[in-house]
Amino acid sequence: MTVLGRPVVLERRLGRGATAEAWLARAREGAELVLKIARDRGSFARLIDEGERLLGVDSGFCVRLLGVGRLPATGAPPGLPAEAPYLVFEHHGGEAADAAAALAPAERRRRVLVVARDLGRALSDLHASGVAHGDVKPENVLFEGSEAQLRARLLDFGLASAASQVEATGGTRRYLAPEAIEAPATGDARLRDLYALGATLAVLASGEAARAGRPELALTAADVDADLVALIRPLLSRAPSLRPGADWVVRRALQLLGQVESAEEARERRMGAIRRAYLAVRRRELLRAATSPASRVTVGGAPGAWLRAWLELARAIEELRGASVSGPASVLADLDAIGRARWLVEIVGPAAAAWPEIAVGSDGELAERLIAAATALEPRRFTLADLGEGASAAPPPAEGTDPVALALALGAGAPRPAVLDAAETLVHAGSAPPALALALGRALRLRGELGRALAVFERVAGPEARAEAAEVQRRAGDRAAALAALDGLGGAAAEAPRARAVRARTVLDTGDPQAALALVASATDTSGLEVRALAEIQLGRRRDARITIERARLVARDPEERARIESLAGNLAHFDGDFERALDAFRRAAEHAAEAGAVLEEATYLTGVAAASANVGELELAFEASRRAVLLFDGLGRAREAARALLSWASAHAVLGAFVEARELAAMAIERARAAGDARCRAYAHLLLADAAPPNDREGLEHARRAAALVGDDADDRLRVHARLHERGEATPVDTLDVEAASEERALDARFEWWTARARALVLGPALESPRRVLEALLALVPRRAPVGLRGPAFFAGAELAARIGDGEAARRLALAAAEAARELAARAGPRVAAEVRLLPWVRLGESSPTTGFSAEQLADVDRLVRALGRRDRLKPLLEQVVDALVLWTGVERGLLLLRAPGDKLRPRAARNLLRADLTGPQLELSQSLARRALAQGEPVVAVDASGDLPEVHESVHALKLRSVLAVPLVARGEALGVVYLDDRVRRGAFGARELAWVRLVATLAAVAIADARDQILLRRAVRRARRAEARLATLLARREAELDVAERELARTREGRDTRHRYAGNVGKGEPIRARPNSWTRPPARAAPGQTPGETG
């Protein structure tokens, strides 16, 4: 058979599993390969999925996937199905790790450390590629080389999964993490791998643990030294987030082996990290591109080569799957600014989230700079300067080992990774003073590396370290361990402020705010006051909480404490609906957290900044805060939090009406939320996608239905979902939901969304019910403090609804409220998005709102216009009233209203001070030209001095001696219906801001009326056509009935010599009148068609 383009012979079976067999294949030139072949047809898909997960995995400590294929139709090995799929791997000779092997203690210890070193590297590479192994155990570990050059390699990826997958897909129970058994919906595949690594090390380290099948016995076994226990114990933590990362395992193993990585190994590892990070960022794009043979790569340099190799193998896997590789073609071009930022964060870590955009022309150029820097520097230690144009690649000076200098560097805020590594080496070597160890543990806790932090605190004696360890355990969710650690403190140590605050916060986390408040009732330190304020908030004592927060602000000593108190203030302000105060507090919290080096807290507070800034309309700030939060969470491997930050980012784009960007971000949020098992985040993302779909697009309804399937029993979420379903025509219990939405118990944003959907449905649909309830509900919401992105659309929809039914007062009040929201957004959104903001329909209404100094008479005129909108039996008088109001209140000479007609023509429908005879020559050319320009731009065309401002129609302007000209498009529901044209031959500058606002307002109202009147006309025409068709059908049926009757009578006469359709032989009478009667029964009715007399049915 042929494998990878060369003939091979299957020599022997190397192993057999539940779903596949491994065979040694030898090429003619002697090269050896391993083929993993599916055992039966039920295993085909599983093996192909394994191949897809291994795409991009190229670690030197795992077996590498080289290609895929199928066995020939004939000549397959015995017991294997014909055309079974196979995966091709490198072949590595060696021996499997044997936990039961009889080894000398020193040799056993060395083998354990080699496994820790090399499997740590393997898992680090895998997790960086977005993959988790899923079945780490001694049987999947292969030893290679001599004892002096021993290496370990990780095998068998049959249970591999996405790195952030929540639930385990299988595994060997002895090596499964506790959460995979006890709480399978809350896990993370990377953290399960780390537990399995710890269990593997444990059974390899201890004969007793291996024989009993209980890895935890190794922690107390007599044959395991203290250093190995200190390495293994953190990996076996019950709390997943207390397990240190794979890189930590590698560093500790190297330290215990007394080894230093060679320069060549280091360089190869760094280059691999750059490549894996790039492919991980583009994985979703690549999988999509693999479905089409026409997809192509336009990226140059090294990244282009990486993409092409990945794509070639991915297409082979798609073909192996049997899928038609004929999807839409994709072009894999250079990453955009966000993509490059994600690439840098994957390489460097969270520190790169704060970098400005690096000025490079392509991915290839950035890759060159990264590779050049990696020749001398660890990627996690890159700085922005290292990647600048012309930067040198000189290795940095080694960090010193002076404890005082290291302690000062740790206390300076946001210490460099090199400082952390140097201090950690001293701590684990036992040569660090307690003060340095405590400073290191706190710095690691701030970075979110809880496992490393706990490992440091556990090496320090004393009550202070124990209290800090308890705080780390509490943050990791292991409340029982935290309380046990605090219970071990006695006397004055248990009453120390820090210990009491940690205990109170742990009690609060268990859901007992009253007990927590009792513990910190007399607290005067920041930590204690923070817990006290949290308990007061939970107990509904917000006024007390505000006072406590102000006291905490006065005593906060360092950036971390200040950040936490400001965050608390921001949350309280958000609950109160004071979005301005919330934004200020969250911004300060994020700044203090960045100063303290508290990466996880900074990302969390930036999410608060994004939400609060979107609420007040500061969209540019919302974009930037969301972007940085996403990058930080991605750098920390927090898929759940990254999904929610992406959702905030998408929501800000939705407020702007930038639905293309919103859809892309929402899709990314769904991807991460699915991996993290966050159903609620997925539901909210689907709601956003429903909002982003066009009104009549079925895709929007499908997204709303998916959201409905994901939300739980939360009443607010149900109201949000039903709002989308109702707006898109799905049957909903309207009366019940109206009652829900009127209740103060429901969340304010959910109520706004429901009433907005109700108003829109009534505006766009047939008038089947009275809209009075909806208008009253929206008017009641006018004074409430709600996000600007909710208020504007809600009140705009309400104003349209009020205008439709002729309620002038409601229309005026709701239009004023919408205009106020529009001005807020326009003033605060930011200069880069100002143009997009002005395109929003409700913002355009705000620009034309009657709050720019209009007189009471003008407002009364608006009221009369709105009332007239409710009477659509005659459209022409309404149009004339519109033109009169425009001419009267702008003070210009003449006005004209043109509507679109078939053939893309514009027809005059109403005029003031213009006769039909005037609409010829220059006047007709000018009005038509400006009208078409206004329609094309979707914006008013205004000339302050017509002779100079309109050079394209200069001749017409000159001939008519015009000074001021204005053309405003009539737009309703996104459709341009016509144009209002005004001009003046006397005044220059007749159309100022006030006049333009008035014309826009009246034009908006007129457009709504025209659109509605047109719809009614079309409906009446459709009804008339239907009635005519029904009459024609009735006539045809009557004719056919008569013809049928004649035919039946002829048939009866032919058969029996009778003239009637039926037999009447049973009639009693024999006289001539009785015999003639059946003929009249048979005669067709006088009406043209069967029917009922009017009034018969009621």
State pLDDT tens for residues 1025-1051.
Answer: 888 998 898 888 888 888 888 888 777
pLDDT-flagged residues of the chain (< 50): 850-852, 949, 1084-1098
The answer to whether residues 517 and 532 touch, using CB atoms and an 8 Å cutoff, is: yes
Count of CB atoms within 10 A of residue 673's CB? 25
Torsion, Cα of 551, 557, 561, 563 (10° steps): 90
Angle at 7 (CA atoms; ends 6, 12), nearest 5 degrees:
125
Sign of CA pseudo-dihedral 682, 687, 693, 696: positive
Residue 658: HSE in the Cβ half-sphere, 13 Å Cα cutoff: 20
Question: How far apart are the C-alpha atoms of 46 and 69, rounded to whole Å?
Answer: 14
pLDDT score, position 99: 66
pLDDT score, position 865: 62
The answer to whether residues 1072 and 1021 touch, using CB atoms and an 8 Å cutoff, is: no
The answer to whether residues 872 and 1010 touch, using CB atoms and an 8 Å cutoff, is: no
Q: What is residue 120's DSSP assignment?
A: H
Nearest to 859 by CA among 806, 798, 797, 808: 808
Amino acid at 780: A
Domain coordinates in residue numbering, the chain: 2-90, 97-260, 265-387, 397-461, 467-550, 556-655, 772-847, 889-1020, 1039-1082
pLDDT score, position 1086: 46
pLDDT score, position 206: 85
Q: What distance lies between CA 512 and its chain's CA centroid?
A: 34
Question: How far apart are the C-alpha atoms of 589 and 576, rounded to whole Å?
Answer: 18
Q: What is residue 361's DSSP assignment?
A: S
| Identical fold, 97-260 and 889-1020 | no
The answer to whether residues 87 and 52 touch, using CB atoms and an 8 Å cutoff, is: no
The answer to whether residues 929 and 941 touch, using CB atoms and an 8 Å cutoff, is: no
Helices (H), 488-525: 497-509, 513-519
Question: Scanning the structure block, which residue is given the tokens 């009433």?
Answer: 755
Sign of CA pseudo-dihedral 758, 759, 761, 766: positive
pLDDT score, position 1088: 42
**Domain 889-1020 CATH superfamily:** GAF domain (3.30.450.40)
Question: How far apart are the C-alpha atoms of 192 and 516, rounded to whole Å?
Answer: 33
Nearest to 792 by CA among 722, 715, 844: 844
Write out 783-801 in H/E/C secondary structure: CCCCCHHHHHHHHHHHHHH
292's enclosing H/E stretch is none
| Pairing outcome for strands 85-90 and 141-144 | unpaired
Q: What is residue 166's DSSP assignment?
A: S
Q: Which two tokens stand for residue 725?
A: 């379903």
Question: How far apart are the C-alpha atoms of 132 and 675, rounded to whole Å?
Answer: 12
pLDDT score, position 300: 94
| Pairing outcome for strands 6-16 and 2-3 | antiparallel
Beta bridge partners of 33: 25, 90
- For residue 86, report the phi and psi dihedrals to the nearest 5 degrees: -140, 155
First to last CA, the chain: 84
Three-state secondary-structure class, residue 911: strand
Question: Scanning the structure block, which residue is given the tokens 């994600």?
Answer: 342
Beta bridge partners of 295: none
- Secondary structure E strands in 323-367: 331-332
Select from 3.30.56.10, 1.25.40.10, 1.10.40.50, 1.50.10.20 the CATH code of 556-655.
1.25.40.10
Select from 3.40.640.10, 3.40.50.2300, 3.30.200.20, 2.60.120.560 the CATH code of 2-90.
3.30.200.20
Torsion, Cα of 771, 773, 774, 779 (10° steps): 120
Question: How far apart are the C-alpha atoms of 590 and 722, rounded to whole Å?
Answer: 36
CATH of domain 467-550: 1.25.40
The answer to whether residues 567 and 586 touch, using CB atoms and an 8 Å cutoff, is: yes
Q: Which residues of 958-989 are buried (b: 16+ CB within 10 A; e: fewer)?
A: eebebbbbbbbbbbbeeeebbbbbbbbeeeee
Question: How far apart are the C-alpha atoms of 724 and 717, rounded to whole Å?
Answer: 11
Q: What distance lies between CA 949 and its chain's CA centroid?
A: 46
Beta bridge partners of 7: 2
The answer to whether residues 36 and 26 touch, using CB atoms and an 8 Å cutoff, is: no
415's enclosing H/E stretch is none
pLDDT score, position 240: 92
The answer to whether residues 11 and 25 touch, using CB atoms and an 8 Å cutoff, is: yes
Question: How far apart are the C-alpha atoms of 773 and 761, rounded to whole Å?
Answer: 14
Three-state secondary-structure class, residue 728: coil
- Secondary structure E strands in 510-567: none
Question: How far apart are the C-alpha atoms of 566 and 154, rounded to whole Å?
Answer: 47
The answer to whether residues 310 and 284 touch, using CB atoms and an 8 Å cutoff, is: no
pLDDT score, position 871: 55
Second-level CATH architecture of 97-260: Orthogonal Bundle (1.10)
The answer to whether residues 846 and 818 touch, using CB atoms and an 8 Å cutoff, is: yes
Q: What is residue 62's DSSP assignment?
A: B
Question: How far apart are the C-alpha atoms of 506 and 861, rounded to whole Å?
Answer: 65
pLDDT score, position 121: 95
pTM: 0.75
